[in-house]
Amino acid sequence: MKVYKQRLLDEQNMASSSDPWVKALYDNRITQRLYNCLVHYGYGKTIDIDELRYKLKTNTLDIWEVSDLGNKGLAIIRNIFLTQEEIDVLNNKD
* Rounded-to-integer distance, Cα 94 and Cα 73, Å: 16
Domain encompassing residue 86:
2-93
* Greatest alpha-carbon span in the chain: 53
Whether 50 has a pLDDT exceeding 80, the answer reads yes
Whether 44 has a pLDDT exceeding 60, the answer reads yes
User: Which residue pairs, CB below 8 angstroms and at least 24 apart, start in 24-28?
Assistant: 24/80
Q: Structural domain tally of the chain?
A: 1
* Rounded-to-integer distance, Cα 33 and Cα 64, Å: 16
Entry pTM? 0.68
Please state, rounded to an integer, the average pLDDT across all residues of the chain: 81
3-state class percentages of the chain: helix first, strand second, coil last, to nearest 5:
65, 0, 30
Tell me the pLDDT tens digit for each residue of 55-69. 989 988 887 778 778
